[in-house]
């Protein structure tokens, strides 16, 4: 079985759960012997990031002249071949962010390469105006997201026509047009994997363009894979899809081989740490975390709240914490990479995921892996599979604070949650998810 897979991001350079999920799934499928052609968008050049985070490139062979597709294979993923299509598309970005990012790129390119050749200010401004049109003509990338997605789709088709495969597997909305195009050109069945929907990301203020793309993808697909029943329900009720088309395959988690020493951090400090780790954006409910924190601090003093991550709401949260008068009890770490993630988990007494709408939620599984007890929002897909965790409605600040205090105040609770949670999470393996996806592939290829 050979799969043409369209993803967004891949570790070690990721900005959220999508990359982690793609990595886990791809690795497990590779271990099953499935051959995968994994296609990613990659920015044309490396740059220092501002508040819009950019993917930094993987170690790649030099680009060819067109700056397009260069294949390479990573060591641990035996049956996986990676292709990168030059594009400024980024996961989790909105069209406005995309537009800002393009302007950024243009400005930097302009200042680096052209500044010396230019004369006065007038010529500079004139030149800056002309760049978008010039770049679009050169076929590199579009100034607006909508066009870019379709340009990306065209590039994907060109690549697909050079390859042989049985099915197409597209992850989340940005890749759906590419998936649809490749399916149309090659006649192979399209399977789309819904890790999140516009309703999860934006509540009721959905972006119509993105909604349309999601809907088209779902209707063009032979089969849809949803990461939870919660997500499946959204697909059925909001997108007009019939039930027999949608399968639920839960995400898994990578088992870290590192044994955590039992007498871990925190012995020298009496202070308890309550951890929020994830993108600081509306979907993740950061303000509920802070409101619960304030309630906890009314009753307990020796506790600190750590918000690990970055996002469009980060500055607002920093302000909110200081306005509430708890600024000295809340720490913001910014985005954490690699070993820092492990370190922050090892420090934590409790991990809290107060998401407003979480299609699945891999982070709680990672927390359990690190022996950290977990409090999750009931409005999440992962609540469907975990029992040995605390659950709460995201809006119920009183109960959230009640449960946080209970974990910090009653050690047997923390102990029992840790023991049972760590045991339970071992049952959630990527190999099971991979096997289920493979079954979906087989069903769709046989149906044809």
Partner 1 sequence: MPSVCFYFQVHQPYRLRHYTIFDKTPNYFDDFHNASICRKVANKCYLPTNRLLLDVIRRYEGRFKIAFSLTGVALEQFQQFCPEVMSTFDALAQTGCVEFLAETYYHSLSFLYSRQEFIEQVNLHVQAIQKLFGQTPRVFRNTELIYNNQLAEIIESMDKFDAVITEGADHILGHRNSNFVYRPPNCKHLKLLLKNYSLSDDIAFRFGNRQWNEYPLMADKFASWVNRINGNGQVVNLFMDYETFGEYQWQDTGIFDFMAHLPREVLKNPDNDFKTPSEVAEAYEATDVVDVPHIISWADMERDLSAWLGNAMQSNALHEVYRLEKLVRQTRDERLLEDWRKLQTSDHFYYMCTKYFADGSVHHYFNPYDSPYDSYINFMNVLNNLKSRCERVLPGVPSATSSKT
- Binding interface with partner 1 (CB under 8 A): 295, 298-299, 387-388, 390-391, 398-399, 401-403, 405-406, 409-410, 412-413, 415-417, 420, 424
| Contact by Cβ (8 Å): 118, 124 | yes
Minimal distance in Å, beta carbon 425 to partner 1? 12
Q: Output 104 or 402, the one with its CB closest to partner 1.
A: 402
Minimal distance in Å, beta carbon 393 to partner 1? 11
Minimal distance in Å, beta carbon 249 to partner 1? 20
Minimal distance in Å, beta carbon 300 to partner 1? 8
Minimal distance in Å, beta carbon 262 to partner 1? 15
Q: Which long-range contacts (CB under 8 A, 24 or more apart) does 374-381 make?
A: 374/350, 374/417, 374/421, 375/350, 375/351, 375/400, 375/403, 375/404, 375/407, 376/352, 377/285, 377/353, 379/230, 379/355, 380/228, 380/230, 380/353, 380/355, 381/227, 381/228, 381/229, 381/230, 381/231, 381/250
Minimal distance in Å, beta carbon 252 to partner 1? 17
Residue entry with tokens 């009314």: 298
Minimal distance in Å, beta carbon 296 to partner 1? 9
Q: Output 72 or 423, the one with its CB closest to partner 1.
A: 423
Q: Which residues, 6+ apart, have CB-to-CB distance to 258 below 8 Å? A: 342
Q: Output 216 or 402, the one with its CB closest to partner 1.
A: 402
Q: Output 346 or 402, the one with its CB closest to partner 1.
A: 402
Cα 322 vs. chain centroid, distance in angstroms? 29
Q: Output 184 or 415, the one with its CB closest to partner 1.
A: 415
Q: Output 111 or 302, the one with its CB closest to partner 1.
A: 302
Q: Output 323 or 416, the one with its CB closest to partner 1.
A: 416
| Contact by Cβ (8 Å): 67, 57 | no
CA-based nearest residue to 355, from 251, 276, 252? 276
Q: Output 107 or 409, the one with its CB closest to partner 1.
A: 409
As a whole number of angstroms, the distance between CA 6 and CA 426 comes to: 28
CA-based nearest residue to 426, from 391, 385, 376, 379? 385
Minimal distance in Å, beta carbon 301 to partner 1? 8
Q: Which residues, 6+ apart, have CB-to-CB distance to 414 below 8 Å? A: 349, 350, 373, 407, 408
Residue entry with tokens 């501002």: 50
């Amino acid at each position: 079985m050979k799969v043409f897979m369209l993803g967004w991001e891949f570790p070690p350079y990721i900005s959220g759960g999508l990359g982690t999920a793609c990595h886990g799934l791809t690795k497990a499928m590779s271990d099953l012997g499935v051959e995968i052609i994994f296609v990613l968008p990659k920015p044309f050049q490396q740059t220092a990031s501002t508040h819009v985070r950019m993917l930094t490139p993987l170690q790649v062979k030099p680009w060819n002249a067109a700056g397009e597709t260069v294949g390479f294979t990573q060591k641990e993923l035996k049956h996986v071949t990676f292709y990168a299509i030059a594009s400024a598309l980024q996961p989790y970005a909105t069209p406005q962010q995309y537009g800002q990012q393009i302007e950024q790129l243009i400005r930097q390119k302009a200042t680096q390469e052209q500044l010396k050749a230019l004369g006065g200010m007038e010529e500079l401004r004139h030149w800056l105006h002309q760049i978008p049109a010039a770049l679009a003509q050169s076929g590199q990338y579009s100034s607006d997201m909508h066009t870019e997605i379709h340009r990306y789709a065209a590039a994907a088709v060109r690549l697909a026509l050079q390859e042989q495969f049985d099915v197409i597997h597209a992850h989340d909305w940005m890749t759906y047009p590419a998936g649809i195009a490749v399916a149309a050109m090659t006649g192979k069945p399209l399977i789309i994997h819904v890790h999140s929907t516009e309703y999860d990301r934006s509540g009721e203020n959905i972006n119509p363009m993105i909604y349309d793309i999601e809907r088209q993808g779902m209707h063009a697909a032979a089969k849809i894979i949803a990461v939870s029943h919660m997500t499946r329900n959204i697909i059925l009720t909001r997108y007009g899809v019939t039930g027999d088309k949608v399968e639920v395959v839960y995400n898994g988690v990578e088992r870290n081989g590192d044994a955590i020493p039992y007498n871990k951090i925190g012995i020298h400090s009496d202070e308890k740490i309550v951890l929020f780790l994830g993108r600081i954006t509306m979907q993740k409910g950061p303000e509920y975390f802070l409101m619960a924190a304030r309630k906890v601090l009314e009753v307990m003093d020796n506790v600190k709240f750590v918000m690990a991550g970055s996002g469009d709401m980060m500055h607002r949260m920093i302000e909110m914490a200081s306005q509430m008068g708890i600024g000295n009890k809340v720490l913001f770490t910014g985005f954490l990479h690699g070993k820092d993630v492990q370190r922050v988990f090892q420090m934590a007494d409790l991990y809290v995921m107060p998401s407003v709408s979480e299609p699945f939620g891999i982070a709680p599984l990672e927390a359990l892996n690190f022996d950290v007890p977990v409090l999750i929002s009931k409005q999440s897909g992962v609540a469907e599979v975990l029992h040995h965790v605390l659950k709460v409605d995201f809006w119920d600040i009183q109960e959230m604070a009640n449960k946080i205090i209970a974990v910090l105040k009653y050690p047997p609770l923390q102990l029992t949650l840790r023991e049972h949670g760590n045991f339970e999470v071992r049952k959630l393996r990527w190999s099971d998810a991979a096997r289920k996806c493979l079954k979906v592939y087989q069903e769709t290829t046989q149906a044809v």
